[in-house]
Amino acid sequence: MNILIASSISQHAIDELSNKHDVVCAFGAPEEKLIQLIKDRELIIFRSGVQISAAVMGAAPNLKFLVRAGSGLDNLDVDYANKRGLKLIRIPEPGAKAVAELTFAFMLALSRNLIKADREWKKGHWIKGELKGYLLRGKVLGVIGAGNIGSLVGQMGSLWGMTVLGCVAKEDYTPEVEANLVSKGIRLTTFEEVVTNADYLTIHVPLMDSTRNLVDKEVLQMMKPGSYLMSLARGGVVDEQALYEELSNGGRLRGAALDVHLNEGEGKISPLAELPNVILTPHIGAQTYDSQKEIGDRVLESVDKFEAELITAEETSTINK
């Protein structure tokens, strides 16, 4: 098969694909470059950080398959892909485990002031008496978007001894979804109840028109005094300017941690960077060795399946002739 890998994936997967197929790598390339490289490709593999637009897909008449080596589809023109009849495979589960664990790391780091403690002690400042910490046990964890990732976070919180509230989009609700969340120790309720009761509010929703700036000034002012906000969703779901104003003006929030940002990439600096009670990481939620290896293995399985489908289709076409 002719394959375009538009995002960095596990090297073992790239090596194996290159041994068996015609592979072109163009990690994070701009649209113009992708349009040049995709012309004779049948399959494109991608993650976040690259835009798979209608123009890109439209430049490849032989394109049949798409592999999203992760979860979100905000960087794919889904309407065009569906209209074209392109087969799409998503691989959300391995990254979900890593993102859930990073969420918990954020909660612990914020609660125990670990960033400040580390920074000051490295300078020789013994500020033990100045650092106030808080337990997670007994607190309320609010999960906005209790799907693949959010439900894992909620389950971890429940096992840690937290009261867990979660919400999902109306169109995603079913009695089966609610029963599954209850089995993980998560009580399904309204967005408003989650926001107003959470000591720790964590965001795990896709970026869509309905979720852009979902957490805005109004929502931030609904939050519980002394609470923390974590976002591991997509940049644009949290209104960063509103969050900056809330945190810098001594508002209700005690701190925040964000792994996703409105502007991402080398040389970009978040407006939140100057605030001492904020943790910022460069979209590393799914970036563990274990998760990426598992994703790579799943990519290889998907490509083998696609190749088998192509062979079957060609044989059927020959027979019909």
Shared domain check, 163 and 223: yes
Provide the domain limits for residue 310.
2-90+289-320
What is the C-alpha to C-alpha distance for residues 84 and 248, in angstroms, rounded to an integer?
48
Instruction: Tell me the two tokens of residue 158.
Output: 């429940």
Residues 40, 308: Cα–Cα separation, whole Å: 19
Please state the domain count of the chain.
Answer: 2
* DSSP β-ladder status, 253-258 and 87-90: unpaired
CATH number of the CATH domain containing 158? 3.40.50.720
Q: For residue range 173-203, list pLDDT tens digits in order.
A: 999 999 999 999 999 999 999 999 999 999 9
pTM beyond 0.85: the answer is yes
Residues 212 and 84 in one domain: no
**Residues 199 and 260 occupy one common structural domain:** yes
Among residues 101, 245, 264, 307, which one is catalytic?
Answer: 264
Residue-wise pLDDT for 34-52, tens only, equals 999 999 999 999 998 899 9
Is residue 62 within 8 A of residue 37, CB to CB? The reply is no
| Three-class DSSP category at 22 | strand
Q: What is the largest CA-CA distance in the chain?
A: 83
Q: Is 267 exposed, middle or buried (0-12, 13-18, 19+ CB in 10 A)?
A: exposed
**How confident is the model over 70-118, as pLDDT tens digits?**
888 889 999 999 999 999 999 989 999 999 999 999 999 999 999 999 9
Q: What is the mean pLDDT of residues 13-28?
A: 95
Q: Do 194 and 244 belong together in one domain?
A: yes
CA-based angle 142:148:154, to the nearest 5?
Answer: 30
Mean pLDDT score across all residues of the chain? 94
| Residues 105 and 198 grouped into a single domain | yes
How far apart CA 159 and CA 185 sit, in angstroms, is 8
140 shares its domain with 252: yes
Is 264 annotated as catalytic?
yes
> Is 90 marked active-site?
no
Phi then psi dihedrals of residue 36, to 5 deg: -70, -40
State whether 266 and 175 are in the same domain. yes
Q: What is the number of alpha carbons within 13 Å of residue 116 lying toward its C-beta? A: 17
Same domain, 237 and 293: no
Token digits of residue 193: 């109840």
Provide the pLDDT for residue 313. Answer: 67
Q: What percent of the chain has pLDDT over 70?
A: 97
pLDDT grade, residue 321 (50/70/90)? low
- Is the model's pLDDT at 320 over the cut of 80? no
Mark whether 120 is an active-site residue.
no
263 and 226 share a domain? yes
Q: Which among 41, 234, 254, 261 is annotated as catalytic? A: 234
pLDDT band of residue 244 (cuts 50, 70, 90) is very high
Same domain, 171 and 293: no
| Joined tokens for residue 320 | 């019909």
pLDDT in the model for residue 71 = 82
Catalytic residue among 21, 90, 187, 283: 283
225: number of Cβ within 10 Å: 8
Q: 219 with 151, same domain?
A: yes
pLDDT for res 318:
57
CA distances, 188 to each of 104, 182, 183 (Å): 20, 8, 11
* CB-CB contact of 286 with 98 (8 Å): yes
